[in-house]
Amino acid sequence: MLAEALVLSALLFMIGAFGVLIRRNAIIVFLCIELQLNAVNLSFVAFSRYLGIEGQLFVFFVMTVAAAEAAVGLAIIISIFRHYETVNVENFNLLKW
Amino acid sequence: MVEIFFFILATIAVGGALGVVIQKNPVGSLLFMVGTLAALAGIFVLLEAHFLAAIQVLVYAGAIMVLFLFVIMLLNLGHDYKADVRRGLGAFLAFGVTGALAGLLASQLRGAEENPIYQYFPGPEGMDLLLEEQGVVGAIARPLFTEYVIAFELVGVLLLVALVGAVALAKKRA
Amino acid sequence: MTGLALLLTGLAQVGQPGVGEVFEPFLPGMILILPLAGFVANGVLALVSGCRNARMIRTGMAAEIGSVTHSLSSWIGPGAVGAAFVLTVVNFVGMLGAQPHEPFVQGYWTWIASGNLSVEAAIQLDQLSLIMMMVITGVGFLIHLFSVAYMRDDPGYSRYFCYLNLFIFFMLVLVMGASFPLMFVGWEGVGLCSYLLIGFWFEDPEKADAGKKAFIVNRIGDLGFLLAIFLLFTHLGALDYVGVFEAAPESLPYGGTVVTAVALLLLLGAIGKSAQVPLYVWLPDAMAGPTPVSALIHAATMVTAGVYLIARAGVLFALAPIGSATVATVGAVTALFSATIALQQYDIKKVLAYSTISQLGFMFLGVGAGAYAAGVFHLMTHAFFKALLFLGAGAVIHSMHHALHSTHSDWDAQDMRNMGGLKRFMPLTWATMVIATVAIAGIWPFAGFFSKDEIIWYAGAAAGNGYGVLFTVLWGMALLAAALTAVYMTRLIVMTFHGINRTGPEEAKLLHEAPLTMTVPLTILGILSVFSGWINVPDSVQDSIFGGFGILPMSEWLHHWLDPVTESADAIRLSGLGPYAESAPLGGGPVAWAAIATGAALVIVILTARVVSRQQILPASESEQPADGIRKILYNKWYVDEIYDRVVVRPIIAASRFGSRWLDQVLIDGTVNAVGSLTRSLGWFGSLFQTGQVTTYAVVFTLGALTILGVLIL
């Protein structure tokens, strides 16, 4: 069970990473990051079955932090949208001088 | 028996994830995400983490995804969207890299159960015993309010901060 | 009177064995300081008068002669050298009395102290250097005096004396230095001063070029000198004369490669400085400078530095018979070669220039044959009569210039075809120049006879030893060159002073005798040209008519005087020569040869005078250049300058162009620019990665994670 769960977790994580790299819509990128977080949650839970309840506690915290992060992140995206009229990540290139 | 369920739920999860990534319509990818979350909740149940499964459905699929949906609707992105999946060299490179990494990880993780470190831990039987003694919720609640209460309180503060920040950021400038 | 008595007592003691006392010099350093002080003072005056002249040119005022700077320079310039001459005489008298066997070396401070090399700033006073100092300061003083009148109208008057004093200073450093590097300092210094003085009228690009040519050709020789110094230091570890000449006979094998190389390299230096074949080309061009400069530098002092070098390093040359033979060959070839060119030159100074080169060849022949005293003797007498000839030519040119200037004629004041019949205008000049001509032709009892014939004698004597055939040929060449000397000198006198005057009736009215400050030095030099030969009458002719039946007082005085300096060299040479050491030249004794030489010279002079005076000579503007044959070749100086231009100068210029264009601009600049461009390109390439988009960074991030994981796992 553990091995399959871990493999699934890895697979989901990489799919999430692929989505982060491939999508242009900032909100969908964010969504894929959430997918990655979930994959890690799965991994934690799978391990907790063998190593103790702390795994599940950590998942609890992860979910909470993910919620907070989602709220703040979406608020940022909204305010960016107000400035750029788009959420296409290719237009956010202020890091380039 | 458990294996079959696991396999089915895993397939649903992966399919949902792929849908998130590939789907052009943002609302569509969101719905696929919900599907994945639900499948993951099912797997949690299979792994005897009932409380987390419930929380997953309630909080993640119920609250966070709805938040995403609200934002999408707020920004009016559901209608005329262009294909916003990248094509070309970048896509190919990304696929190659992530694919390679996935393969690498998967190949390494396959023999996880035979790791001798598990002899020092109670193992699935111990977990089952714990769940019987304290109940599903009690097993999480007891350490949460005793050993890790500080982290718990901090998380509360974190949520407050996030709340205030979100409101401040999303506010329309006067 | 007491001075004279001292002088005579001292002279009488020369040659007597056993008077090897310690010589105590009298203020030798001042002999160097005085001309240097003159240089500084005149330099200040030159700067002051230069500013004043510039101001005058701007405001349009005429230059005043007799201004303060002019008078001061007139006193300081000759005065400094005169005082140095007096000090030299005092020291000379002292040395006459003491007859020291060892040279007197006075060190002042350590100039170079680097590892094993230690060179002192020291002066060495021995018989050879004192003779040279007497010639330098004495003839130098007379020339300074002459220049006061000659350069009177020149705006650069103070600058002239400034350079002239500096020249005397450096020449004294050259002969008084106690080590080869110090001689080299003087060597370079006189090269510098000759550049400054030859190009004195530098506004004329030709004259400036002549100065450059002199310096550059000299430099080629200096390379040889420097290499010789390096070799000496490497093999002997010492560079001062005392040390080198002690160590050389022991450390360097007789006739070995090292010492021959040193000798040949020193010879190269001497060839450059003393204008021998093939580095003589600068001297005729150097006539572009003022005539007293030519007298001092190119007759009396600087060009003799090469002879001094070889005489000083006699030990080294005696150790290298091949080197000595080369010296003699170079000398004889030069003597004959330049004598032929002088036959067809019309510029009076050019004739004298080629004559100088020829006589220097004689000196080289002398020291190459091992007769160091004879070479130095000819150096001394040549200084007198050549300086006299140049100064006389200067007086003539001065007068001609005046005359031609008054009618604004553009005729060349130095061309002999424009002269003629000057005898009745400038009798004193004529008389002294005739004396000098007779001296240089080698007619008894004038100076040239003794010195030149002694060299020819020694060349013939050397023919009896190891390099027999060579020295016989050289002896023959020397005889021929001596004959040609008589021819071209007589030609010069006849064309200039005799016959009808070709200058033109208007100009002739202004031809006049030179002023007193000019004629006095001429007269003194004339007297010296007559009598200076008598200080070294060879023993072999002492009792014959040529020695005045024993009346002439100083037999072989110079030879004995220089003995302490040359004896080690002589000993080495004799020991190396073996059984041939003391043989006589071909056939006949010394008296017979002396008679033949004088008689032949007299005959040649008379014949030439007849031939030349019968020639129809037209003024320069109406004359044609010689059309063909040997005359054309000689007139064009055997086309040596043209050959050098084709063979040396043009390839060097082409190589420089190639180097400048391809090596410097294309290759080196290109490489540097390419490095810059490469850096820029790399930077541009790197900038492509900075898209500013987070996604790009995420890709790279993931790639990095993959790499690390891959490395860890695999």
Q: Is B161 on the interface with A (CB under 8 A)?
A: yes
What count of other Cβ atoms lies within 10 Å of the Cβ of residue B8?
A: 12
The pLDDT-based confidence of C623 (bands split at 50, 70, 90) is low
| CB neighbour list of residue B82: distance below 8 Å, 6 or more residues apart | none
* Domain limit, last residue, from C609, C635, C661: C635
- Greatest mean pLDDT among B5-14, B111-120, C500-509, C543-552: B5-14
Helices marked H in C615-693: 629-635, 640-644, 650-658, 670-687
| Cα-only R_g, chain B | 21
> What is the distance in angstroms between the Cα of C677 and the nearest Cα belonging to chain A?
22
Clarify whether residues C289 and C334 are in a common domain.
yes
pLDDT per position in chain B (174 positions), as tens?
Answer: 888 999 999 999 999 999 999 888 888 999 999 999 999 999 999 998 899 999 999 999 999 999 999 998 888 776 666 666 777 777 888 888 888 888 888 888 877 777 777 777 777 888 888 888 888 888 889 999 999 999 999 999 999 999 999 999 888 776
Verify whether the Cβ–Cβ distance B159 to A59 is below 8 Å. no
Instruction: ipTM value, please give it.
Output: 0.89
Clarify whether residues C626 and C504 are in a common domain.
yes
Clarify whether residues C624 and C672 are in a common domain.
no
pLDDT for position C323: 86
Taking all residues of chain C, what is their mean pLDDT, rounded to a whole number? 81
Residue C357 reports pLDDT greater than 80: yes
pLDDT for position C17: 47
Clarify whether residues C98 and C166 are in a common domain.
yes
Q: Which residues constitute the domain of residue C181?
A: 2-635
* Domain limit, last residue, from C635, C650, C665: C635
Walk me through the domains of chain A, giving residue ranges and CATH numbers.
2-91 (1.10.287.3510)
Clarify whether residues C486 and C606 are in a common domain.
yes
pLDDT for position A61: 94
> What is the distance in angstroms between the Cα of A21 and the nearest Cα belonging to chain C?
6
Given a contact cutoff of 8 angstroms between Cβ atoms, the answer to whether B24 and A23 are in contact is no
As a whole number of angstroms, the distance between CA B87 and CA B91 comes to: 5
How many structural domains does chain C have? 2
| CB neighbour list of residue B152: distance below 8 Å, 6 or more residues apart | B144, B145
> What's the pLDDT tens digit per position in C242-263?
888 888 777 777 777 888 888 8
* Closest by Cβ to B101, choosing from C695, C699, C705: C705
Q: Write out the DSSP string of A24-82.
A: -BHHHHHHHHHHHHHHHHHHHHHHHHHH-THHHHHHHHHHHHHHHHHHHHHHHHHHHHH
Verify whether the Cβ–Cβ distance C702 to A89 is below 8 Å. no
Clarify whether residues C377 and C514 are in a common domain.
yes
| Cα-only R_g, chain C | 30
Q: What is the pTM of this model?
A: 0.71
**How far does Cα C187 stand from its chain's mean position?**
10
Q: Is A84 on the interface with C (CB under 8 A)?
A: no
Residue C386 reports pLDDT greater than 80: yes
> What's the pLDDT tens digit per position in B64-93?
999 999 998 888 776 666 666 777 777 888
The pLDDT-based confidence of C627 (bands split at 50, 70, 90) is low
Which of C439, C453, C177, C469 has its CA nearest to residue C308?
Answer: C177
Cis status, amide bond into C445, omega within 30 of 0: yes
Clarify whether residues C88 and C232 are in a common domain.
yes
Q: What are the tokens at C603? A: 């005959």
Clarify whether residues C273 and C413 are in a common domain.
yes
- CA angle C317-C322-C323, nearest 5°? 40
The mean pLDDT value for C326-341 works out to 90
Clarify whether residues C315 and C451 are in a common domain.
yes
Q: Which residue has the tokens 């005169």?
A: C82
Clarify whether residues C222 and C293 are in a common domain.
yes
Q: Residue C617: which region, alpha, beta or left (left: phi > 0; alpha: psi -120 to 50)?
A: beta
Clarify whether residues C423 and C483 are in a common domain.
yes
* Domain limit, last residue, from C635, C654, C679: C635
* Residue C702: closest C-alpha in chain A: A17
> What is the distance in angstroms between the Cα of A16 and the nearest Cα belonging to chain B?
7
pLDDT for position C587: 46
Walk me through the domains of chain B, giving residue ranges and CATH numbers.
1-82 (1.20.120.1200)
pLDDT for position C447: 72
Clarify whether residues C579 and C678 are in a common domain.
no
Verify whether the Cβ–Cβ distance C699 to B90 is below 8 Å. yes
As a whole number of angstroms, the distance between CA B159 and CA C4 comes to: 125
Q: Which residue has the tokens 């450093």?
A: C173
| CB neighbour list of residue C369: distance below 8 Å, 6 or more residues apart | C324, C328, C455, C458, C459, C461, C462, C471, C474
C-chain residues near A29 (CB < 8 A): 695
The mean pLDDT value for C31-50 works out to 87
As a whole number of angstroms, the distance between CA C618 and CA C602 comes to: 28
Residue C164 reports pLDDT greater than 60: yes
Q: Write out the DSSP string of C326-345.
A: HHHHHHHHHHHHHHHHHTT-
Given a contact cutoff of 8 angstroms between Cβ atoms, the answer to whether C177 and C185 are in contact is yes
Give the Å distances, CA to CA, from C659 to C37, C654, C672: 45, 8, 16
